[in-house]
Chain A
Amino acid sequence: MRNKSAQKTIIYHGAIILLGFLMIYPILWTIASSLKPEDEIFRNAASLLPSELKWGNYLQGWEGFGDLSFSTFFINSTFVTTMVVIGTIFSSTLVAFGFARVKFRFRTPLFVCMIVTLMLPQQVTLIPQYILFHNLGWVNTYLPLIVPAFIGGIPFFIFLMIQFIRGIPRELDEAAYIDGASTFGIFWRIILPLTTPALATVAIFSFYWTWDDFMTPLVYLNDTKLYTVALGLQLFSDPSSLSAWGPMFAMSVASILPQLLVFLFFQKYLVEGITAGSVKG
């Protein structure tokens, strides 16, 4: 009996590790290719072991091309991402508190509007928004990327915060209210500190989606000096002009490194955050 269960355990772990290896193989392969000498990347394509470690790929890649080095792209991405994360936190906490705790008129229909926009395909508003920003003279600036975050750009985050705030006992608000706190006071001193875990989730996800985002910068940024990492990498990896494969893979690794690091440190919030909005609701 005991023997049989041990056998089962071995099969279980074996199968999961094998499948897991297949899962992360493409990522390991990128890292391996970023360290391989040029002629080895495709000659021995499936192999994960470089014959020698060519760290020079990273230096050569970082220099980029022309007068554009990857430091420009990283600085641009860091700026845009930071602003979007700040904007998202600002708007999603305020709005979520309003919906979850203040019983104003038209709250329910407006809430329904917000949930509907959650399911609205981005492409539907893309063109009129582009025309709007074009007329405002915002094309080729970071404003179209940043401003929407400050005005509740992604309803998913508002929804996530509302779900979380609803879980905080109302008695806390009432006690503070009797003690003379204003509605804003309740928000600032009672609810906001208690929502830190949900805020962390929102911050991490908005970091991911902004860092990853390819379509929005592609539409709004024309000047290569303004390019984010995603656009820079695409420019660098254009198959029709690409010659330096090693450096290209090195920059691919560099572009996902911030995401991997954030994942490593904050995975608890990521995993909790995904499940919070769906199951409790």
Chain B
Amino acid sequence: MKKKKQLRSQRSIDITGFTFIAPWLIGFLGFIVGPMIASLYFSFTNYDLLSAPSWIGFENYITMFTEDARFIQALKVTFIFVFGSVPLKLAFALFVAMLFNTRRKGVGLYRTLYYVPSILGGSVAVAVVWRELFGREGALNDVLAIFGIEGTSWVTSPDFALSTLILLVVWQFGSPMLIFLAGLKAIPNELYEAAAVDGASPFLQFIKITLPMLSPVIFFNLVMQTIQGFMAFTQSFLITNGGPMDRTLFYAVYLYEKAFAHFDMGYASALAWILLLICALFTALIFKSAQSWVYYESEGGK
């Protein structure tokens, strides 16, 4: 009896395994792989959802780069948004995590308090509030008036609208902060003690110990936040609606517009594939660069 069990064939193990992962496998094939192949096909067609897609070759892609100024604008806005918000968000998250990496009283409570904005993250309520706080009659201008500065309507000003949206995502730094905090707690204290004995300043300790020891966590946060940045939608759609003058036209907003306002599914599919290529390129770049700056202790150095 026992022998029979031990000799359980690979075949029956396979069946068990596939049964367990079946929900994901069905979803993966039906909702990811299938649709991706379909969308690659649609991206070479003209398709309005009502009549059958008609093959037009590379026309969508060519139009995009040669005639579509709004596509270029959307790319530009999204790049500024990602390069502006991700480093700021991560730097702030790390700064706050270091403040909280102490045994002082009340730290648990503070940590909770600082995390609240992040759980409300993409909610419509927060978007609505942001629109009003940074409006002409908003609270920010009231505060600025105290210092004799005359504010503007930040969310509708071409010069400041994008910065206002960047500020919103930087404000939601909670998740990377918690991940940094867990990483900081894993750094052995002896390293700092030894460095202090050798007379290393706190700044030098940060550069020589904290940053290298934290690099795998920085890497993880960087990848996740970058991809999230490229996908940002709600903030721009609800707060500025892409305006003023397309200054906050996020890539995802433009894609949504093409697909669900103009029902230009072929063109929107092509847009989606360009987004995928951009995300893949950046992820690959971060992974590639990681070899030179991410330090894994278990591998005995770089």
Tell me if B285 counts as interface (CB < 8 A to partner A).
Answer: no
Question: Is B143 an interface residue, CB under 8 A from the partner?
Answer: yes
Say which one of A49-57, A78-86, A118-126 lies at the interface with B: A118-126
Question: Is A20 in contact with B110, judged by CB distance below 8 angstroms?
Answer: yes
Instruction: Mark out the residues of chain A between 107 and 135 whose CB falls within 8 Å of any chain B CB in the assembled complex.
Output: 107, 110, 113-114, 117, 119-132, 134
Within 83-142 of B, Cβ neighbours of A (below 8 Å) are at 96, 99, 102, 104, 106, 110-117, 119-126, 128-133, 137-142
The answer to whether B113 touches A20 (Cβ under 8 A) is yes
Q: Are A105 and B14 in contact (CB under 8 A)?
A: yes
In the complex the two chains form, what is the Cα distance from A94 to B25 in whole Å? 12
Q: Which chain B residue shows the least CB distance to A8?
A: B104
Q: Are A121 and B31 also in contact (CB < 8 A) when A95-B21, A110-B21, A279-B183 are?
A: no
Question: Which chain B residue shows the least CB distance to A264?
Answer: B112
Known pairs A252-B128, A259-B123; A46 contacts B142 (CB<8 A): yes
Decide yes or no whether B195 CB sits under 8 A from chain A.
no
A26 to B125 Cα, complex, angstroms: 11
10 A-B pairs closest in CB distance: A104-B17, A98-B20, A152-B24, A151-B27, A128-B35, A46-B142, A275-B182, A252-B125, A102-B17, A98-B21
B64 adjacent to chain A (CB < 8 Å): no
Whether A26 contacts B133 in the complex (CB less than 8 A), given A107-B17, A125-B32, comes out as: yes
CA distance A50 to B96 in the complex (A): 32
Q: Are A97 and B20 in contact (CB under 8 A)?
A: yes
Q: What range describes how many residues of B lie at the interface?
A: 35 or more
Other-chain contact of A253, B102, B125, B230 (Cβ < 8 Å):
B125
Q: Check if A255 is an interface residue, CB within 8 A of chain B.
A: yes
CB of B127, distance to nearest CB on chain A (Å): 8
- Given A9-B104, A26-B130: A121 in contact with B20 (beta carbons within 8 A): no
Given A19-B96, A95-B23, 17 further pairs, Cβ under 8 A: A12-B99, A29-B129, A44-B142, A104-B16, A104-B18, A105-B14, A110-B21, A113-B28, A124-B272, A127-B259, A128-B36, A128-B42, A214-B238, A233-B125, A248-B128, A259-B120, A263-B116
In the assembled complex, how far is the CB of residue A130 from the closest CB belonging to chain B, in whole angstroms? 7
CA of A16 to CA of B107, assembled, Å: 9
The residue of chain A having its C-beta at the shortest distance from the C-beta of B143 within the complex is A46
Residues of A within 8 A of B131 (CB): 239
